Amino acid sequence: MDNSRLSTVLAIPKRPWFWAFAASAIAYLATLSLTEGRGGGELLSAALTFASFSAIVGLGQMFVITLGPGNVDLSIPATMTLAGTLSLKFMDGAADLILPGLALAIAVGISTGIFNYLLIRLLRIPPIIATLSASFLYQSLAIWWNRGLRIKPPEALADFSTGSIAGLPNLTIIGVLIALLSWVVLERSIFGRWVSAFGQNTRAARLSGIPVETVRAVTYVLSAVLASFTGYLLASFSGGAALNMGTEYLLISIAVVVIGGCSIAGGNSNVPGIWGGALLMFLVVSMLNSYGFGAGVRLIMTGAIIIAIVAAASGKGRSA
């Protein structure tokens, strides 16, 4: 018993998510060393808050990428924007419409997910192009619906999304709960096994009786629902929906999946790494910010770190 526990601890650095958390810790300490430890709590709380958005959309992207080569959801930013604008306009600041607004956001996610899947399934369009073209439609829909108005979220919802319980931001609690749920689904449920089997060998999965098309449909819907939920939260958090609010989450959602140590070739994913990647993406930017680097250097360093982590992680014999 003790031996196995020891070997579990010793095996931690070999876990694919280890590097994301280790690098996050380094970035955090490097930032604090500049301020001689002041503002550590604020930085941690900001990192936990902003990483929640990346983590939730990243989890959706993770399920899609687990399906294997060519499967990726490029419509996440447009779905976020559409859900954010539609639900905020619907609530129009009224506190009693918070839950119906949430339901509307989720409904947007379900619809866009089904639409994405139908393009892939019925029209046989490669997922990259299908989700990309569909995202143009969602974007237009959001523009047309919103007319550039910035509607404030209901006060109670805004307070909730910026508030915290016992020092932990509410958004982080939600993000961690969703991650736990995703972990259970991926590792402990039959659906999760099916998703992994689909990514490892679709033909074998189909021949062994797995309803592969249902698995794929549910996965795309799941990704869209998580994106629309994030859009709802982000719009409430930032005091209103903006038409470009999802833009940066396209690259981030893919980056956290990869930094977190999921195989981009599909069939192999891990949930903790998504949070590690999400924290890293935020902490690196704030570290470079506090060292006074401009936008250019910040972008170059972000890119170099993504490449370095992927190159280092694949040296662990993870790659195909």
Contacting residues toward other proteins, per CB under 8 A: 68-70, 72, 74, 119, 123-126, 128-130, 132-137, 139-141, 143-144, 202-203, 251, 254-255, 258, 264-265, 294-307, 310-311, 314-315, 319-320
Residue 203 to residue 225: CA distance in whole angstroms: 28
Cβ closest to other proteins, residue 5 vs residue 144: 144
Residue 246: which of 73, 110, 84, 137 has the closest Cα? 84
Residue 92 to residue 243: CA distance in whole angstroms: 17
Residue 160 to residue 237: CA distance in whole angstroms: 8
Rounded least distance, CB 91 to other proteins, Å: 22
Question: Dihedrals φ, ψ of 233, to 5°?
Answer: -65, -45
Rounded least distance, CB 30 to other proteins, Å: 19
Rounded least distance, CB 296 to other proteins, Å: 4
Rounded least distance, CB 189 to other proteins, Å: 23
Rounded least distance, CB 288 to other proteins, Å: 11
8 Å CB contact between 228 and 59: no
Cβ closest to other proteins, residue 41 vs residue 315: 315
Which helix (H) or strand (E) segment holds residue 164: the answer is: strand 164-165
Rounded least distance, CB 124 to other proteins, Å: 6
8 Å CB contact between 234 and 245: yes
Cβ closest to other proteins, residue 41 vs residue 296: 296
Q: What is the largest CA-CA distance in the chain?
A: 63
Cβ closest to other proteins, residue 24 vs residue 161: 24
Query: Partners of 164 in the beta sheet?
Result: 169
Angle between helices 98-122 and 76-91 (to 10 degrees): 150
Cβ closest to other proteins, residue 222 vs residue 306: 306
Residue 255 to residue 237: CA distance in whole angstroms: 23
CA 50 to chain centre: 11
Task: Provide the 10 A C-beta neighbour count for residue 72.
Answer: 22
Is 125 in a helix, a strand, or coil? coil
Cβ closest to other proteins, residue 182 vs residue 253: 253
Rounded least distance, CB 306 to other proteins, Å: 4
Cβ closest to other proteins, residue 292 vs residue 315: 315
Rounded least distance, CB 133 to other proteins, Å: 4
Cβ closest to other proteins, residue 10 vs residue 295: 295
Rounded least distance, CB 184 to other proteins, Å: 27
8 Å CB contact between 105 and 83: yes
Cβ closest to other proteins, residue 189 vs residue 319: 319
Q: What type of residue is 29? A: L
Question: Residues with Cβ < 8 Å from 43, sequence gap 6 or more?
Answer: 28, 31, 32, 286
